[in-house]
Structure 1
Amino acid sequence: MAAHSLLRTVLLALTLVVLSTAFSNPLPCTGECIDTHDPSLIRRTSDGTYFRFATGGGISIHTAPSITGPWKTAGEVLPSGSKINNPGADDAWAPDVHYVGGTYYLYYAVSTFGTQTSAIGVATSTSMDAGTWTDHGSTSVTSTTGDDYNAIDPNLIQVSGKNYLTFGSFWGDLYQTTLSSNLESWSQSTPYRIELNSTSPQPSEGAYVYHTGSYYYLFFSSGSCCGYDTSRPAPGDEYKIMVCRSTTVTGGYVDRNGQACTNSGGTLVLGSHGVVYGPGGQGVYDDIVEGSVLYYHYVDTNIGYADGDKVLGINKIDWSTGWPVV
């Protein structure tokens, strides 16, 4: 490992130790809160019902009267699997849900662990209820062996009439492109990199771009995400939530120290602390009750370390410093 990378790893580990006592615990979650990997949360406009979607199978649907529960099972988005002709079509990943013009758009990824044979798909519904989703298959944002990026973990943000899709994991980390006006297909705009962590072993994935005030904030998950029940990484190398910000949605994103996000930059937002281990797979939501919140999955060490043990976590965000603090 290069001296620069070693020094950064040591400094990050020390930072994690110092900050681990500063993080707030997640808000209480009631009902079915376990087996929630890479969650996406949204509140239905018609009746105020909260919906939670998560990685796995046909993308599970859970509903609740409030953002903290009690959550209950409500079916799947893709009970017959995705139309995308890729390995992993029956096990869709990383849903990202948005309400646009009376329709809910759910973006998802089809891939298998450790490969670049990946595609980003989209399904739509006017209610989000199970049985109402139409799968449109691939957006044509795809990747294959040898590409600069991996087409997984999609996230949509609309800015000035353009539909920006941020995605990626490993293989060059995080990229951005645009979708067509129909929100269902790629615009053919060449993807460009907006984040790269060149240290090891620190992959970046799970991008989520959020706008508030004068800045666009690029949240991402860094570190080892999975399989903690069989092999846990060195302390500090497990999943954690990082952020950079920019005055434009396309970049350049920098961390709190001014380090470019394309040059291994990133400010720690939430790491392991107490019984919370490996938080990641995050998003940001403006809740009518709790205000701005960071939602994510994590391992509760009192429950178990398996991927199926991942729990929904929600923390309120304080933006008073210009940076997200939970």
Structure 2
Amino acid sequence: MGPSGCASLADDRLNFRAGSTAQAIIYPSGTDDPDDYHRLIEASWVHLRDGWYYLFFSGDNCCGPHAHYAVLVARARHATGPYETYAAATANPHAALLVANDHWRAPGNNSVVTDAAGQDWLAYHAIDVRQPTFDAIDDSEGYSRRVLLLDKLEYADGWPVVKHHSPSWQPQPGPVAQ
């Protein structure tokens, strides 16, 4: 059993330990604002760095011709929270870690990896505006062609930051490998 009776992983790391209880730690905004990425949330990833648990998650509509998706972040001193979203901390309901730009739409569904030099990187997918769908799939269903991207994470004032708050579109130095 984890802290406060919340869910804990079993030894196989695939299932929850018997007697565990799932605990919600963040909720959708519940607004009708079409620019609010927090209306639907999914694809969470927790990363511990410098005493903060960073909850990276994606918000709103990931796919199709009307995709409106972004990488969002919240932080807490304990794994089970309470979490404060970056949007709440900045008093900007539209604030996000990573949003679309002229080259990439709908960035999201992310994870964080740390390279051999201790540098954090955000791995995520986005839709290439030059080829948003697959050539071999009937586009009438709106299947998005999502490409895996990797951008460097920096930290400022206790929050993770991606340069320009949008996906890079030119070659960048990569992670350090062993």
> Considering the TM-score relative to the shorter chain, is it more than 0.5?
yes
The equivalent of 1:320 in structure 2 is: 156
Q: Deviations over 1:28-66 (max 9, x none)?
A: xxxxxxxxxxxxxxxxxxxxxxxxxxxxxxxxxxxxxxx
Q: Deviations over 1:68-91 (max 9, x none)?
A: xxxxxxxxxxxxxxxxxxxxxxxx
The equivalent of 1:130 in structure 2 is: none
Aligned counterparts, 1:4-153, within 5 A: none
Contact kept? 1:244, 1:266, Cα under 8 Å: no
Q: CA deviation at 1:309?
A: 1.7
Contact kept? 1:243, 1:266, Cα under 8 Å: no
- The CA distance in 2 between the partners of 1:284 and 1:319, in whole Å, is 13
- The CA distance in 2 between the partners of 1:227 and 1:255, in whole Å, is 27
Contact kept? 2:72, 2:86, Cα under 8 Å: no
Length-normalised TM-score, structure 1: 0.40
- The CA distance in 1 between the partners of 2:94 and 2:48, in whole Å, is 17
**Structure 1 runs, 4 residues or longer, greater than 3 Å off:** 256-259, 305-308
- % of aligned pairs identical? 28
3-state secondary structure, aligned to 2:84: coil
Give 5+ residue unaligned stretches, structure 1.
1-160, 163-175, 260-264
* Equivalent in 145, 148, 161 of residue 309 of structure 1: 145
Q: Deviations over 1:206-242 (max 9, x none)?
A: 00001101210111100101223xxx15xxxx01000
3-state secondary structure, aligned to 1:271: coil
- The CA distance in 2 between the partners of 1:220 and 1:293, in whole Å, is 15
3-state secondary structure, aligned to 2:20: coil
RMSD of the alignment, in Å?
2.6
Pairing 1:293–2:129 present: no
Give 5+ residue unaligned stretches, structure 2.
135-142, 163-178
* Equivalent in 238, 244, 262 of residue 74 of structure 2: 244
- The CA distance in 2 between the partners of 1:220 and 1:314, in whole Å, is 16
Contact kept? 1:295, 1:315, Cα under 8 Å: yes
Q: Give the length in aligned residue pairs.
A: 142
Q: Larger radius of gyration, structure 1 or 2?
A: 1
Q: Which amino acid aligns with 1:189?
A: S
